[in-house]
Amino acid sequence: MTEFDVTKMKAIKDLLFRMADDELILGHRNSEWTGLGPILEEDIAFSSMAQDKLGHALALYTLLQQTGESDPDTLAFARKETELKCCHLVEYPIGDYAFSLMRHFLFDEAEALRFDMLSDSSFTELANVARKFRGELKYHTMHAETWLNQLGNSNEESLLKMQSALNKCFPLSLGIFEPSDFEKELVESKIFAGEKVLQERWLEKIEKVLNKANLKIPKVNSKDASYGGRKGSHTEYLQPMLEEMTEVYSIDPGAEW
């Protein structure tokens, strides 16, 4: 394990929890499309992406375990709502397919760029994981971009649905980049170039794709950004989801399967 001092270790843990919790919660949400997808290929796509997200969550929780936290199952299933650091975007119910597709697009583009940035991290173990994930994410962003292009250029109804999904998702997606208390430490020690840089790169990327799909980013000001998730303050949708997700685990925590 790469060695860091106490403050930097705190910064690393905070970053890992944010990423891992996002992956876990969105992975669970995506899996809610299993059996319900609008066409078979999409059912498979969302289920498969859900599996990738849970795989990423597992790898990140494993890194946390190596830094002295509990085992991955405990971290995933035994923490209270207020201890989770996921952003609000991932908490929302799946909604209609337009909403789920738009969320998938906005989140996965940010995720792909994040892991791209992290692949040079001075935290070597995280850099290794990031290099692995970005290859997998290529398939996610490819999927999202294909559908955005298709639906944005199809007919008035599909365009309208995608635009209204974007209007709803965009302020939520800004919450992905909620600044952490450790930005300075992360940047200075070259662990991560920071949420601000990521957000700029993300905006540049999504604008290109949205333009081709005739979709416009809604006008928002900074106070519309859905912040709070990274500090443990969540939407009303998270707690019921956690109860469902941990229902079996809670009957007998630590049971061997």
Q: Does position 128 bind another protein by CB under 8 A?
A: yes
Kindly tell me which residue out of 12, 15, 19, 49 binds another protein, with binding defined by CB under 8 A. Answer: 49
Written as six digits, the tokens of 25 are: 């919660």
Q: Which part of the chain contacts another protein (CB under 8 A), choosing from 90-98, 129-137, 178-186, 240-248? A: 129-137
The residue from 131, 168, 201, 205 that contacts another protein (CB under 8 A) is: 131
Task: By CB under 8 A, name the one of 142, 160, 217, 248 that touches another protein.
Answer: 142
Six token digits for residue 211: 């333009």
* Contacts (CB under 8 A) with another protein, residues 76-115: none
User: CB 174 → another protein: shortest distance, Å?
Assistant: 27
Task: Report d(CA 189, CA 18) in Å as an integer.
Answer: 19
Indicate which single residue of 143, 161, 230, 234 sits in contact with another protein (rule: CB under 8 A).
143
Task: Figure out which of the listed residues 135, 155, 156, 254 binds another protein, where binding follows CB under 8 A.
Answer: 135
Q: Does 136 bind another protein (CB under 8 A)?
A: yes
Q: Long-range contacts: 122-126, Cβ < 8 Å, 24+? A: 122/2, 122/189, 122/190, 122/191, 123/2, 123/4, 123/12, 123/191, 124/2, 125/1, 125/2, 125/63, 125/66, 126/12, 126/16, 126/63, 126/191
CA distance 158 to 134: 30
Choices 75-83, 135-143, 204-212, 225-233; region in contact with another protein by CB under 8 A: 135-143
Tell me if residue 237 falls in helix, strand or coil.
coil
Listed residue (106, 98, 103, 105) closest to 142, CA to CA = 105
Which of 139, 227, 237, 249: binder of another protein (CB under 8 A)?
A: 139
Closer residue to another protein, CB minimum distance, 51 or 239 = 51
> Quick one: which of 8, 56, 161, 230 contacts another protein (CB under 8 A)?
56
Interaction of residue 48 with another protein, rule CB under 8 A: yes
Measure the CA–CA gap between 4 and 184, rounded to whole angstroms. 15
Beta carbon nearer to another protein, 43 or 81: 43
User: Contacts with another protein: how many residues (CB under 8 A)?
Assistant: 26
Task: Report the Cα 219 to chain-centroid distance in Å.
Answer: 23
For another protein, what does the binding mask look like between residues 154 and 193, x meaning CB under 8 A?
----------------------------------------
Q: What is the CB-side half-sphere exposure of residue 97 using CA atoms within 13 A? A: 15
Distances (CA, A) of 95 to 107, 235, 253: 16, 15, 31
Structural contact between residues 208 and 105, judged by C-beta atoms closer than 8 angstroms: no
Chain residues that interact with another protein, rule: CB under 8 A: 41, 44-45, 47-49, 51-56, 58-59, 125, 128-129, 131-133, 135-136, 138-139, 142-143
